[in-house]
Structure 1
Amino acid sequence: MTHDPSRIGSSFRDPSGFLFRRDGVLLRQVQERYRPHYEQLKSSGLYAALTAEGLLVPHEERPLREAAAPGAAFVLQPELLPFISLPYEWCFAQRQAAALLTLRVQEMALAHGMTLKDASAFNVQFRGVQPVLIDTLSFERYDEGRPWVAYRQFCQHFLAPLVLQARLDVRLGALLRQYLDGIPLDLASTLLPRRSWMSPAVLMHIHLHAQSIAKHAATEGARSGTRPGAAPATARVSKIGLEGLLASLKGAVSSLRWQAGTEWGAYEETHNYDAAGRASKQGLVADFVRAANAQRVIDLGANAGEYSRVARDAGATLVVAADGDPMAVERGFRRLREAGESGVHPLLVDLTNPAPAQGWDHAEWPALAERGPFDAVLALALVHHLAIGNNVPLGGVAQLLAHLGTQVIIEWVPKPDPQVQRLLSAREDIFDGYTEEGLVAAFAAVGLHPRQRVAVGTSGRTLFRFAA
């Protein structure tokens, strides 16, 4: 290795170690202070048990000379996941799955004489629809009688948003974009209706927990080194008590249900295609993905991911199925999980207001475009929603899509199409530039040109592949 290491922006809070890249390789430095915990993680059999079940990313140990800074005890090369999503980009079922993973890991840690010191949602990622813990340094030796220091953090990152989504409005999950260390429990308690006090789990883990935090605020504030979620120093909790706490949290999380409110079968748009037309479109999309030789694809406006699966089956190894509707993303995630499918990663993203780079110094959690580029961007029956539904000029649409990927596959919906006319039905048509010629010119301005152009059956729509 020749180049200087660069630290990952989000990896600076834990003195036990940090992530860095050198020559494009992701590495984790484990500091000397964490040695006893890391050695117990390995010697206790916990690491082997977790990786065998796919609950923790595996790693290999690298030579110590590859450390990025003084004080290293170990250098690890973790498995590289194909895509990184962030908790405020998850649907309800994704958050629920990540919460249950965290509790399962904590149960296994206790059984091996260890405990999770962190329960941050940012420590969980997805391999498709399967959650996995990515922070090897989240474990520490368990001392009998010590409370679970990550209890409050778990409630803020997982339980509170899930309860708010299930009992009030699924869109409240977006609060996690503002509250990066989880929704404050006093806020969750205030927002929840009075009837929620009748739920023993919500009463214990949110309402009374919030009151306890307020009661001990002065004490916790005086202990400058206290981690988020730490209990008062005088608290003593037996191992059996901890196991009971975990069982209670697991029951609370598992029992939550989000009712979508409408019949999902009626939600997915057919985009004016009959069965033959849809089959034709699927075939064309597959041909275009193969022509693009695309391994990494992002499907914008994916709905429940029908064409994301088409792209995957056409050879893409990763397809991010992004949509701004919580119901659509939920539906796609559940379908994939129930079918045991892989290769598609559902993502909740509002393209008109995607999350920017966030956190300390705007460098902890990257914007969506920073997690690319993709080999191909699918934008099927999407451009009219952006250009007419949201008044985004075609030049702006082209710039966004070109920023995300090196090739763009677009289903162009012309102005006479019923879906465009529906958007125009209640407003003045001020979109003189919304033409096929305008689309081609907009992409030419960002250096992309039509390499394929095929009419989609008799629909009047056209499929384009733009590339340099």
Structure 2
Amino acid sequence: MRQKEKKIRARLETSSFRDPGGFVFYLDGQPYRQINQKSKQNFDLLTNSGLYQDLAGKGLIASHAEVSNKFAVTKDAYKIIKPQIIPFISYPYEWSFDQLKDAALTTLEIQEIALSYNMSLKDASAYNIQFIGYRPIFIDTLSFEKYREGQTWTGYRQFCQHFLAPLALMSKKDPRTNLILRDFIDGIPLDLTSQLLPNATKFDLSLLTHLHLHSLNQKRMAEKKINKSKYRMTRFQMLSLIGNLKSTIEKLKMNHFKTEWQEYYSFTNYSDKATEQKELLLKNFLNQPRPKFVLDLGANDGRFSQIACQNGAYTIACDIDPLAIEKSYLEAKRNKNSRLLPLIIDLTNPSPSLGWASVERKSFNQRAKVDCVVALALIHHLAISNNLPLPMIAEYFAGLGDNLIIEFVPKEDSNVKILLQNREDIFTEYSKEGFEKAFQLFFNILGRENINESKRILYLMKRK
């Protein structure tokens, strides 16, 4: 009877079904991973060889604790482990250039270390990497297999599609090309990458080899039966491959093109005095709900997100601008800020549910459930630039968090005047009164403060 209750309570992770060696599930909201009998040898080698301890000690892999097999979901369970909790699951198409670059270099470092313990990564999916603040961490315990002398790296193609292809496109073409990963869940096809990259990249030996020629070889071998025994690679050759991939990625630099928001705080209509007061008001409002988890929408370079971090909250800083998020990530990395996770999110078109049956990768809205939402200098862009009715915005914010700190920017503000200068003002409900009326449908207003030397108002609200 007890076994039956346990199975009813277990909820399978919808993205964890492709590996027959095991899967992730949840009990009472806590994550567990079942290691099946099929993975017994590789899992034991991972833990008994010292590889797991080495990677965990370096902070490269999520730690875990073995728990009782009474939690097993199916009969073929070998062991059950309880992995380290990742505060927020994010996906490669939401990362900035340097986030994806650091994830790639982490994957290669793990493969390099694994070889020294006679193990190898059998895949190289970018989805095996998550971020805790600025720090990339590997999360798939079942990706390791015993290394056999002469074998090729089975994860090579996937690494090129998941990491090298998007990084090359972001570097040589446009940082926004990472969004192509939303359409190709197993990485950007190499033939497409080869077509999109400038011809000049064919004169870069590494990019020529790993992307252009790799693509041609894929086409040539697509319908042929491959005799794997003919293709052998010594350990030295595999390490050389890893080293070459590492140097190739390290040389790639982000393509810095001008965006609308990258210098926002350099040209804002706030005075220094008003900015300081706004920071103080934000601190005071954050001190009331004392959130542990904050979602900062329209965060730009994360200046105000850092206040939430200083207040003790794990903070997701979201912005549509890839250069603003890049700047925020690099700043968090410099400061070793493990509480700040910047992500590229377009609120008017956030990451959708993707993959098999549209459940393999959860939408941003499904993942973004927090204690407090912060939305500073954002409402006019949503309501006026994107024609979103105020009640719809309020309802959306209410679905994300229990508390809301939001800045209302009136029509008298110079930034709103710029938005309206070349279009008809059809926004009759966009006023302080209309704003409060719309948001009080879903929130109770707990506090409101005028921001000095401006017509703007900062509100603290609690969801009804």
TM-score range, shorter chain: over 0.9
Q: 2:248 aligns with which of 248, 252, 256?
A: 252
Which residue number in structure 2 is paired with residue 300 of structure 1?
Answer: 297
Q: Which among 125, 148, 154 is matched to residue 149 of structure 1?
A: 154
Q: Which runs of 5+ in 2 are unaligned?
A: none
The answer for the alignment partner of 1:227 in structure 2 is none
| Alignment-mate amino acid for residue 429 of structure 2 | G
Post-superposition offset of 1:267: 4.3
Q: Which residue type is aligned with residue 9 of structure 2?
A: D
Q: Distance in 2 between matches of 1:128 and 1:463?
A: 27
Matched with 1:291 is 288
Q: Map 1:442-461; keep pairs closer than 5 Å.
A: 442-445=438-441, 447-461=442-456
Q: Give the aligned CA root-mean-square deviation in angstroms.
A: 1.5
Q: TM-score, normalised by structure 1?
A: 0.95
Q: Where does residue 345 of structure 1 map in the other structure?
A: 341
Q: How many equivalent residue pairs?
A: 457
What secondary structure, in the 3-state scheme, does the structure 2 residue paired with 1:375 have?
strand
Partner residue of 1:83 out of 67, 83, 88: 88
Following superposition of structure 1 onto structure 2, how do residues 116-155 of structure 1 map, counting pairs within 5 Å? 116-155=121-160
Contact 1:89 1:348 in 2 (8 A): yes
CA contact (8 A) 1:271 1:381 kept: no
In structure 1, the residue matched to 2:35 is 30
Comparing 334-343 with 17-26, greater Cα deviation is found at 334-343
Q: 1:22/1:383 Cα in 2 relative to 1: closer, same or farther (>3 Å)? A: same
Aligned to 2:61: 56
Aligned with 2:329 (options 311, 329, 333): 333
Paired position in structure 2 for 1:376: 372
1:177-214 deviations in whole A, cap 9, x for unaligned? 10010000011011112111100110110011111111
- How far off its partner does 1:262 sit? 4.8
- Between the aligned partners of 2:66 and 2:396, the Cα distance in structure 1 is 40
Q: Encode CA deviations 1:432-468: one digit per residue, 9 max, x unaligned.
A: 01011211221222x3121111111131110011113
Q: 1:272 to 1:32 in 2, by over 3 A?
A: same
* 1:125 counterpart SS class: strand
Shift of 1:23: 1.2
Q: Which residue of 2 aligns with 1:276?
A: 273
- Unmatched 5+ residue regions in structure 1? 224-230
Aligned equivalent of 2:353: 357
CA distance in 2, matches of 1:401, 1:233: 57
Say whether residues 1:13 and 2:10 are aligned partners: no
Q: Is the contact between residue 287 and residue 314 of structure 1 (CA under 8 Å) also seen in structure 2?
A: no
Letter in 2 for 1:356: P
* Selected match of 2:412 from 394, 416, 421: 416
**Distance in 1 between the 2:76 and 2:372 partners?**
42
Is the partner of 2:288 in helix, strand or coil? helix
Question: Could you tell me whether the CA contact under 8 Å between 2:271 and 2:453 is conserved in 1?
Answer: no
Give CA deviations for 1:351-389 in whole Å, capped at 9, x if unaligned.
Answer: 110111111111111111211321110000000000001
Taking structure 2 as the reference length, what is the TM-score of the superposition? 0.96
2:461 corresponds to: 466
Task: State whether residues 62 and 75 of structure 1, in contact with CA within 8 Å, keep that contact through their aligned partners in structure 2.
Answer: yes
- TM-aligned CA deviation for residue 259 of structure 1: 3.5
Whole-angstrom CA distance in 1 between matches of 2:266 and 2:432: 23
Aligned to 2:306: 309
Tell me if structure 2 keeps the 8 A contact 1:216–1:232.
no
Instruction: Identify the range of structure 1 (62-71 vs 31-40) with the bigger mean alpha-carbon deviation.
Output: 62-71
8 Å CA contact 2:295, 2:368 repeated in 1: no
| Letter of the structure 2 residue corresponding to residue 459 of structure 1 | S
Deviation at 1:4, TM superposition (A): 2.3
Q: Which amino acid aligns with 1:68?
A: V
Give 3-state SS (helix, strand or coil) of 1:244's partner.
helix
How far apart are the structure 1 equivalents of 2:194 and 2:229? 24
Matching residue of 2:183: 178
